[in-house]
Amino acid sequence: MSARAPRVGTTSGTGILLRFMLRRDRFRLPWWLLGTGLLLLIQSTQSQNVYDTPEDLARLRETLGGNASVVALSGPTELLDTIGGEVVFEIFSYLAVVVALMSMFLVGRHTRSDEEAGRAELIRSARVGRHAPVAAALCLAGLANLAVAVVVFATAAGTGLPAGGSVLLGVATAGLGLTFAALTAVAAQVFENARGVYGAVGLAIGASYVLRAAGDVGNGALSWVSPIGWGQRTFPYSDNRWWPLLLPLGVTALLVAAAVALLDRRDFGAGLLQSRPGRATASWALGSPLGLAWRLQRGSLTGWASGLLLLGAAYGSLGNTIEEYVADNPEVADFLPGGAADVVDSYLALTILMSALITTAFGVSSTMRVRGEETSGRAEPVLATATSRSAWLASHLTVALVGGALVLVAVGFGEGLAYGLTVSDAGQIPRLMAVALVYLPAVWLVIGLAVLGLGWLPRAAAAVAWVVVGYCSIVALFADSFDLPAWFQSASPFAHTPEAPFETVTTAPLLIIGAVVVVLLAGGLIGFRRRDVGY
């Protein structure tokens, strides 16, 4: 009688879950694919413009081959034989990080996050097998990475790179994504909450980058323990080797098997690592709105500050070689605010400006915590105590404003330390720390706009603030090379900030920006005191 009854196993329901996950992610995944495609598109067109002759490429090989910092930041010099390889050399590490993050968030979202939030329980109570959610999440990761491969191939081939190498590049990128998807599936069994999963996998992504960097600078051995290294060492366009892809393939299979084995050995909702009990009473520090805001944001502030310190150090380590590099590749000077003259200072100005734009992103995300607290309902009990709205808003803003300054100081310290080491001048550390702070008023101005949004247009505030960050970045990075009209640039606070250390710092524009900041903050506060909380 039941001969036609559906087969019931530990993966029952995978198909339905997969369709449901695709629906949940239908607006999210395209953005990741777009980002991946854009990164490659910009690099491919730019590289082919700058190094358009074999002589350019040969000169580049000579300059870069001997520069450990560039190799550490990018990849193995074997790639520099062809223009396609040069593109891979420059962009693969970044592509790798984007695709790895996409895969990590995708699998984490549909496994541990769902379990933590209790959504998975509802699903598992239906006729859904124990392995179905993780199987469906991995299938979705497979589809997403297939799409990555197609986008990478289409972008590379579409910008004129050879088709064969483009296929290999696409597959290598997707293989890397799959490896991190499978690793996330393992981490989702080990950790009890999504934060732990993302922390561990994020650390693994960072380690892959560092191991690859150390390997490429040294004898190459360490690169073979890094998934990013495996992808680069297929040498697309140069050697076109397919066999290194056996590594991500094998490791992915092993990790999936490990995830399944671990899943069978744990209870639903639990991880293999139990979270430890915390304090039974609050320390003195957690006794004020500011103490709470600091407690909630200290982790992310530490993350941003250390990340930007490392970025600054990476930029700084190249400072000393930039003169030689620009002399060999005069086209590059077009990207520097000062052109070929005063190359080092103008390079430092450009890189600190770029770091300041990233600091702006920190400022906005920190400010938007206010909105997150409000819409989640966590602000309500705090505002029901003797905490005024002004004090509550000011506590989070203090973290955002002072945090922005700390992040900039970290940038200056990292860049000053690394650059100072290469030119044997400890004085670069205080100098570049001071230089970085020249960009603080502009960072604060963007925070001020976000606060104004919070006060008067709370629902649109996040969108508005991120559009402002995007606008400032476009103006700062592309205004000169793309000849954007002057009126379009003039609204950006960064356009009015002296490009220190290349330009002389004058205080007048900084004071004016500061005055605007005060007005914006006051305006936002007035709006916030007048409106309903939580809507």
Question: Which residues of the chain form contacts with another protein (CB under 8 A)?
Answer: 116, 192-193, 195, 275, 277-282, 286-289, 291-292, 295-296, 376-378, 380-389, 530-535
Min dist. Cβ of residue 387 to another protein (A): 5
Compute the half-sphere exposure of residue 197: CA atoms within 13 Å on the CB side of its CA: 33
Among positive and negative, which fits the CA dihedral 119, 122, 126, 130?
positive
Cis peptide before 501 (omega within 30 of 0): yes
Beta strands in 343-392 (DSSP E): none
Provide the minimum distance between the beta carbon of 187 and another protein in the complex, in angstroms, as a whole number: 17
Nearer residue to another protein within complex by CB, 113 or 234: 113
Rounded least distance, CB 192 to another protein, Å = 7
For the CB of residue 267, give the shortest distance to another protein in the complex, in Å: 14
Instruction: Work out the angle between the directed axes of helices 163-190 and 194-217 (0-180°, nearest 10).
Output: 140
Residue 186 Cβ vs another protein, minimum distance, rounded to whole Å: 21
Q: Which amino acid is at 398?
A: T
Shortest Cβ distance from residue 367 to another protein (Å)?
18
Tokens of 76: 């193995």
Which residue number, 86 or 374, has a Cβ lying nearer to another protein? 374
What are the C-alpha distances in Å from 530 to residues 20, 392, 462, 523, 527? 41, 14, 19, 11, 5
Closer Cβ to another protein, 1 or 280, answer by number: 280
Identify which of residues 127 and 298 has a Cβ nearer to another protein in the complex.
298
- Select from 293, 309, 273 the least CA-distant residue to 391: 293
Q: Which helix (H) or strand (E) holds 513?
A: helix 507-530
Q: Which candidate, 337, 314, 342, places its Cα nearest to that of 411? A: 314
Q: State how far Cα 346 lies from the chain centre.
A: 25
CB of 273 to another protein, least distance (A): 13
Q: Residue with structure tokens 């400072």?
A: 319
- Nearer to another protein among residue 55 and residue 532 (C-beta): 532
Q: Assign 11 to helix, strand or coil.
A: coil
Q: In terms of CB distance, is 296 or 474 closer to another protein?
A: 296
Q: Helix %, strand %, coil % for the chain, to 5?
A: 75, 0, 25
**Measured from the CB of residue 531, what is the shortest distance to another protein in angstroms?**
8
> Which amino acid is it at 314?
A
Shortest Å, Cβ 530 to another protein: 8
Nearer to another protein, 127 or 378 (CB): 378
* Selection from 120, 122, 100, 99 nearest residue 110 by Cα: 120
Answer for the pair 259, 185: CB distance below 8 angstroms, yes or no: yes
Compare residues 7 and 279 and give the one whose CB is closer to another protein: 279
Q: Which two tokens stand for residue 56?
A: 């350019």
Nearer Cβ to another protein (124/295): 295
